[in-house]
């Protein structure tokens, strides 16, 4: 064990971490009072942009800029990151008329960013600046300047960018979310830009792709005996039986929970009708809904299986949580 590790007292380590988090939390909270007409103007620059939002920054601000660009791009605003040091060596051509630029700089005096200003002026490209000093060279040149200053860094030396980068990232997220809502961006839009991996499966998979249909559906009529409903539920293995009328419209469901309640009431399983013990009305979902919506519905209502109904309320499918697991949605 190194001397530094050996001398690291647990209480001191935790105290340092709590201090850092408290400073960063205050830095983000302070941004609330700065959300004004300038922030709305920055949003309008993004909404009016016919091209792409080019996000740029150097050093730690550059790392934040990459994340902000990625967030914008994934939420309906075409955006990419431009390294300002590379811009003066040929990458300036990536900025074209119709674009907008979002520049991140704590000092507002980053030399590599200042070199961009004549090019942006020539192209009449609007410039949004997020800076710790809005009266800086970048701030004064901006179409809109947003104040992301912090009174102190979380670093005990007040040197390493910590609270300042957190505040800038939070303001970037606020910008992306506000623009997302203004565009009317939907879950389906989000899914189209996230087709890969588990996230893509959650967002792109529809109920009709995972539900059981035809002979695999557990269903009985309302006059069927409770014993018959139990046998149907056991045969189909979904954890529920759907009670339907003669036109296959869903009247209710019968689950393990309904069985326990029926037994508590000393219901005779040989004589009781399904209409007496079913849950009605019941939750159902459309086959066109996203599987992620089913996960939400099941979590909120603490249920493990759902019938699927068409627009007329007819039973067209059913599924349970195991089907969602197999599909990789949860």
What pLDDT digit, counting tens, does each position of 169-195 carry?
999 999 999 999 999 876 666 666 655
Pair (173, 258) in one structural domain: no
Q: Has residue 34 been placed in a domain?
A: yes
Q: Has residue 15 been placed in a domain?
A: yes
Q: Which of 127, 153, 185 is the last residue of a domain?
A: 185
Q: Is 210 in contact with 317 (CB distance < 8 Å)?
A: no
| Range in 3-17, 111-125, 166-180, 305-319 with the lowest mean pLDDT | 3-17
Give me the phi and psi of 309, to 5 degrees please. Answer: -120, 145
How many separate domains does the chain show? 2
Pair (27, 113) in one structural domain: yes
Average pLDDT of every residue of the chain: 91
Nearest partner of 205 among 294, 291, 289, 128, judged by Cα: 291
Distance (Å, rounded) from C-alpha 38 to C-alpha 330?
A: 41
| Domain boundaries, position 292 | 207-326
Pair (151, 236) in one structural domain: no
pLDDT at 167: 97
Pair (247, 178) in one structural domain: no
DSSP state of 206: B
Pair (17, 117) in one structural domain: yes
Give me the phi and psi of 320, to 5 degrees please. Answer: -130, 180
Distance (Å, rounded) from C-alpha 290 to C-alpha 286?
A: 9
CATH number at residue 222: 3.10.580.10
Q: Has residue 265 been placed in a domain?
A: yes
Q: Has residue 81 been placed in a domain?
A: yes
pLDDT at 243: 96
Confidence of residue 68 (pLDDT cuts 50, 70, 90): very high
Pair (119, 227) in one structural domain: no
Q: Has residue 191 been placed in a domain?
A: no
* Beta bridge pairs of residue 146: 130
pLDDT at 193: 61
Q: Which of 185, 217, 245 is the last residue of a domain?
A: 185
pLDDT at 153: 95
Pair (241, 175) in one structural domain: no
Q: What is the pLDDT of residues 20-62, one digit of tens each?
A: 999 999 999 999 999 999 999 999 999 999 999 999 999 999 9
Confidence of residue 101 (pLDDT cuts 50, 70, 90): very high
Distance (Å, rounded) from C-alpha 76 to C-alpha 196?
A: 17
Render 50-68 in DSSP notation, one character per residue.
SS-EEEEESHHHHHHHHHH
């Amino acid at each position: 064990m190194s001397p530094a590790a050996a001398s690291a007292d647990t209480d001191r380590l935790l105290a340092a971490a709590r201090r850092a988090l408290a400073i960063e939390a205050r830095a983000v909270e302070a941004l609330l009072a700065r959300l004004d007409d300038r922030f709305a103007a920055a949003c309008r620059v993004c909404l009016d942009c016919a091209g792409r939002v080019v996000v740029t920054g150097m050093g730690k601000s550059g790392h934040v800029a990459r994340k902000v660009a990625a967030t914008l791009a994934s939420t309906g605003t075409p955006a990419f990151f431009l390294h300002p040091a590379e811009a003066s060596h040929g990458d300036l051509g990536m900025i074209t008329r119709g674009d907008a630029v979002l520049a991140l700089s704590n000092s507002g005096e980053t030399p590599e960013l200042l070199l961009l200003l004549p090019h942006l002026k020539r192209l009449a490209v609007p410039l949004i600046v997020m800076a710790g000093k809005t009266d800086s060279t970048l701030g004064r040149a901006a179409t809109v300047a947003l104040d992301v200053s912090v009174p102190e860094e979380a670093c005990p030396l007040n040197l390493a960018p910590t609270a300042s980068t957190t505040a800038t990232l939070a303001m970037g997220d606020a910008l992306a979310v506000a623009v997302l809502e203004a565009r009317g961006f939907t879950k389906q839009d989000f899914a189209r830009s996230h087709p890969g991996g588990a996230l893509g499966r959650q967002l792109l998979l529809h109920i009709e792709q995972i539900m059981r249909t035809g002979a695999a559906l557990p269903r009985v009529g309302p006059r069927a005996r409770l014993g018959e409903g139990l046998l149907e539920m056991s045969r189909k293995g979904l954890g529920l039986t759907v009670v339907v009328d003669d036109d296959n419209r869903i009247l209710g469901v019968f689950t393990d929970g309904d069985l326990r309640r029926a037994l508590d009431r000393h219901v005779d399983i040989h004589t009781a009708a399904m209409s007496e013990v079913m849950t009605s009305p019941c939750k159902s979902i459309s086959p066109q809904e996203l599987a992620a919506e089913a996960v939400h519905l099941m979590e909120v209502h603490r249920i493990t299986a759902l019938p699927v109904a068409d627009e007329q309320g007819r039973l067209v499918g059913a599924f349970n949580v195991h089907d969602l697991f197999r599909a990789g949605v949860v």
